[in-house]
């Protein structure tokens, strides 16, 4: 996917930011334009079930997204790509893409990233805050309750200085008993 590059970059916008699970040389704040972080993927396994799906993050087109970029050694390419594909492409709701990124220091690179496939059955589309909160509140999957995922995600984003007002609105509703 990343031809003619020794080292390469990976862009994370959700749990990859704080739980990459692969070796890297450098971690830096990054921005991607043309895509936004969105709670738009119906989770049938990790945060829900087929009968009661939860919601997890996707990188959806439109807007921009602050996240984290990881610089990976060329020697780790095969191992890291195998890991990422096993993690991100299980149900093929995400597509692997090369994304132009801008680091916090304004350097520009191309990074591997995973964007949501809007044609996939798990794509939930744009939901309003109350509807997203209702879905999240009622879902639990093999990785735990969906509200925990949203609450932890917002907490990690805040720790990194990233504000996502829409997601924070969902978090407020699911954190309230």
- Which sequence positions are flagged as catalytic? 88
Cα separations in angstroms, 109 against 26, 72, 94, 135: 13, 13, 21, 37
Q: How many CB atoms lie within 10 A of CB 82?
A: 11
Backbone angles phi, psi at 79, to 5 degrees: -65, -45
d(CA 32, CA 101): 5
Picking from 61, 46, 18, 58, the residue whose alpha carbon sits closest to that of residue 162 is 18
Distance CA 116, CA 95 (A): 6
In the chain, DSSP finds a helix count (H) and a strand count (E) of 4, 7
Q: How far apart are alpha carbons 122 and 44 in whole angstroms?
A: 8
């Amino acid at each position: 996917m990343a031809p003619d590059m020794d080292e390469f970059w990976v862009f994370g916008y959700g749990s990859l930011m704080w739980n990459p699970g692969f070796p890297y040389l450098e971690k830096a704040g990054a921005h991607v334009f043309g895509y936004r972080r969105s709670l738009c993927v119906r989770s049938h396994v990790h945060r829900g079930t087929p009968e009661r799906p939860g919601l997890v993050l996707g990188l959806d087109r439109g807007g921009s997204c602050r996240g984290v970029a990881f610089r990976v050694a060329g020697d780790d390419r095969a191992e890291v790509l195998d890991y990422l594909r096993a993690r991100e492409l299980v149900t093929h709701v995400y597509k692997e893409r090369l994304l132009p990124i801008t680091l916090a220091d304004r350097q520009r690179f191309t990074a591997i990233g995973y964007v949501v496939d809007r044609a996939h059955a798990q794509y939930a589309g744009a939901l309003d805050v109350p509807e997203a909160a209702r879905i999240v509140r009622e879902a639990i999957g093999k990785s735990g309750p969906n509200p925990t995922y949203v609450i932890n995600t917002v907490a990690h984003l805040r720790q990194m200085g990233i504000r996502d007002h829409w997601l924070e609105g969902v978090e407020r509703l699911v954190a309230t008993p």
